[in-house]
Amino acid sequence: MRLRDRLRRAAHALTAPPVAPAADEPPPPPPVPDDLVPLLRELGSALLSSGQSVMDTEHQLTAVADAYGADQVRVLVLPTGVVLQVETERGPVSDVTGPGSSGALRLHQVGAVDSLVSELVAGDVDLADARSRLRTALATPPRFGPLLVVLGHALLTFAFGLILYPVPEALWLYLAMGAAVGALRLVATRWQTLDAVLPVVAAFLVTWLCVDAVGPWLGGDPLRLLTPALVSFLPGAVLTVAAMELTSNQVVAGGSRMVFGIAQLLLLAFGVVAGVAVSGGFVVAASAPLLGWWSAWVGVLLVAVGHRYFSSPPAHSFWWIVLALYATFAAQQLGATFLPSELAGFVGGLVIAPVSLLIARARTGPPVLVTTLPAFWLLVPGALAFRGLSEIATGESFGAADLVSTALALFSIALGVLVGTSLTRDVRQVSSVVGRRVGLRTGRRAG
């Protein structure tokens, strides 16, 4: 009987129709290349070192994963690391990465990483070759030697002096302080101890020079004299990105980045306070005569020249950077004519995204970040904050008002960038839809 039952069950199993899988069972994930997760790990590290927001980093990593078959990917991006989980045929594969050990990338490295991401999103690059190209880009030295890098910092200081406080008698001082701070930054790249305290040391030396050694003979405001030489330490881009993240509900990333930027400002303020204490205090002299309105516009051009040598942008990108800087500065100046000075940065931030995207679409245009980062430098949201902290520390009564103005300027720039980016994305989507409809109508008529 048992044998008969077994034969009957076997015959029924052979003749019965196949059982359809349950409707709620998810389909198996598509095959994922073995090199994808390691590439995403290294790419996440490079994107963090580029200094862009966590929203952009998450979007780019997800787009690369989608282009190579990983439609089930989870990405958690923080300013200090990226957590990845990709569903593969063998199950979930997780990985964690942090920012590159070399710190912030130079503009030519940022441009190379951004261009590689664009090619990866299009699916035109072999993953193993992409990892090799990424490592080569991160190991590429600056385009110019040490002397030209120091000269670039001196030109940046001179340029920001023309924009922020164009005292004719102080122009040579801006060049000298810029060269000295540029040399200090160069030494700090080879001396880890100095690198850790470089903002304090630079602020102390510049303050002593402006307050005690040279400032009394020049007249004017010593705090305004020293600011241009320290612009390269001001975390303007960091604070702006932090404000963008906070307004986009990225509370953890925005809060931690904001704390880091404020800590950098406090280090600079500590150096200023120490310099003032050693000098025995300072007195603000009568208002020194300033150069005309044209000095700021000349300064914008010199900012581009300084960035060319100090930040090492990609080749053939100089005039595109000039265009982006002038567009941003002109928009900010236009905003200042009908808005309070604290809100004028909204108009400047509003044009950064569309102008950078239009430049990137040109045949010889550099990637978006190459023109965006110098534009953030030009807006200098951290300059007012640094000045306000220094005034509070040195006993001035109007530092708190400067801090409030800085917060307004910071979030106005961030809001302008967000609105400009969103409007640019909407215009591109509308243009794409209109283009497809026009193409369909043209095809029907031709048929």
Q: What is the DSSP string of 6-69?
A: HHHHHHHHHHSPPPPPPTTSPPPPPP--TTHHHHHHHHHHHHHHTT--HHHHHHHHHHHHHHTT
Q: Is the dihedral of CA 401, 402, 403, 409 positive or negative?
A: positive
The pLDDT, as a whole number, for residue 84 is 77
Per-residue pLDDT of the chain (447 residues; tens, 9 = 90+): 555 555 455 555 545 555 555 555 555 555 666 677 788 888 888 888 887 888 888 888 888 888 877 767 777 887 777 877 776 666 666 666 766 545 578 888 888 888 888 888 887 788 888 888 888 888 888 888 889 999 999 999 999 888 888 888 888 888 988 999 989 988 888 888 887 888 888 888 888 888 777 766 766 677 778 888 888 887 777 877 887 788 778 888 888 888 888 888 888 888 888 888 787 666 555 566 778 888 889 999 999 999 999 988 888 889 999 999 999 888 888 887 887 766 777 888 888 888 888 898 888 888 888 888 888 888 765 445 455 555 544 555 445 555 566 667 767 777 777 777 777 776 766 665 555 555 555 555 555
E strand or H helix that includes residue 282: none
Q: Between β-strands 91-97 and 81-88, what pairing exists: parallel, antiparallel or unpaired?
A: antiparallel
Note whether 94 and 75 are within 8 A (CB).
no
Residue with the two structure tokens 């103005």: 405
pLDDT value, residue 383: 46
Question: What is the predicted pLDDT for the residue at 322?
Answer: 93
With contact defined as beta carbons under 8 Å apart, do 47 and 134 qualify?
no
Cα separations in angstroms, 433 against 22, 59, 205, 429, 439? 38, 22, 58, 6, 10
C-beta atoms surrounding 398 within 10 Å = 9
Residue 84 and residue 71: Cα distance in Å, rounded? 13
Amino acid 321: pLDDT = 92
User: CB neighbours of 408 closer than 8 A, spacing ≥ 6?
Assistant: 342, 343
